């Protein structure tokens, strides 16, 4: 598959993830009396990833997340030369999604982007008031586990064709755990789009939502590469020769 097609797939996939997940948070989560709440937002992120994994997985691998791309490289599943084009596509997709969401959301009376616009934050801007340290640890650990599930479910020894299901479910679980901590990033592209519209504090805290997910993903990739390597015994070598 050509890079241009994979670039387009990563862009549209990230667009759908950010628009679907952040759109649910901004428009539907707190809608008076019938809002979908934290569970609904968590499901929205999981479902967007699940639907895109089935849709574009065969085209680009459906990374739709710079941290995942780097984690897959660390796990020896993705070539270094293609990391940057994928990340560029993902960031563009995230920004475009935030732009469309802003146009839609600003059409409602009383809309105020300073209320957060689903941006990620810590300290005073954490939904639960969690500190920088708590936010950093959560993002590293959760992205680490995200990569472990991705690499394990897409391992050639895993049942074929089912990978999108555990991957979508683990993203849902990650959001259930960490929305109160950081609004959940585990994805620098998802964090960048809303932060550009909120500005100020969101941009000043954006560094964490690049550094922590990438660190967690890279550790996860290296770890699974070690964990998943099949040991070859002398007996097996003898049988194969």
The answer to whether 128 touches 177, Cβ cutoff 8 Å, is: no
* pLDDT for position 233: 52
Closest among 113, 82, 74 to 9, alpha carbons compared:
82
Our CA dihedral for 151, 156, 159, 163, rounded to 10 degrees, sits at 30
The answer to whether 84 touches 10, Cβ cutoff 8 Å, is: no
Superfamily of domain 3-229: Glycerol uptake facilitator protein. (1.20.1080.10)
The answer to whether 74 touches 221, Cβ cutoff 8 Å, is: yes
Q: How many C-beta neighbours within 10 Å does residue 69 have?
A: 27
Distance CA 39, CA 36 (A): 7
The answer to whether 74 touches 226, Cβ cutoff 8 Å, is: no
The set of residues, in sequence order, having a beta carbon less than 8 Å from that of 179 and lying 6+ positions away, is 38, 41, 42, 127
* pLDDT for position 237: 46
HSE-up of 153 (CA within 13 Å, CB side)?
A: 20
Domain boundaries, the chain: 3-229
* pLDDT for position 33: 79
Ordered per-residue pLDDT tens for the chain, 241 residues: 899 999 999 999 999 999 999 999 999 998 887 889 999 999 999 999 999 999 999 999 999 999 999 999 999 999 999 999 999 999 999 999 999 999 999 999 889 998 889 999 999 999 999 999 999 999 999 999 999 999 999 999 999 999 999 999 999 999 999 999 999 999 999 999 999 999 999 999 999 999 999 999 999 999 999 997 765 555 554 555 4
**Helix (H, G, I), strand (E, B), or coil: what is residue 116?**
coil
């Amino acid at each position: 598959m050509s890079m241009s097609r994979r670039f387009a797939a990563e862009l549209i996939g990230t667009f759908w993830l950010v628009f679907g997940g952040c759109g649910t948070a901004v428009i539907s989560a707190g809608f008076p009396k019938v809002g979908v709440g934290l569970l609904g937002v968590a499901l929205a992120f999981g479902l967007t990833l699940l639907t895109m994994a089935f849709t574009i997985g065969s085209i680009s691998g459906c990374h739709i997340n710079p941290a995942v791309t780097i984690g897959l490289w660390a796990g020896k599943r993705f070539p270094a030369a293609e990391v940057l084009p994928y990340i560029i596509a993902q960031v563009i997709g995230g920004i475009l999604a935030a732009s469309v969401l802003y146009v839609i959301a600003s059409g409602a009376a009383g809309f105020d982007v300073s209320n957060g616009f689903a941006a990620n934050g810590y300290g005073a801007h954490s939904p639960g008031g969690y500190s920088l340290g708590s936010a950093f640890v959560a993002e590293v650990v959760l992205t680490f586990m995200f990569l472990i599930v991705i690499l394990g479910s897409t391992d050639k020894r895993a049942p074929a064709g089912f990978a999108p299901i555990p991957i979508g479910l683990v993203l849902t679980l990650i959001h259930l755990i960490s929305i109160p901590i950081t609004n959940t990033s585990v994805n620098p592209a998802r964090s960048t789009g809303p932060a550009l519209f909120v500005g100020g504090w969101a941009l000043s805290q954006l560094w964490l939502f690049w550094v922590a997910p990438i660190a967690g993903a890279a550790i996860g990739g290296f770890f699974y590469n070690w964990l998943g390597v099949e040991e070859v015994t002398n007996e097996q070598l003898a049988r194969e020769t």
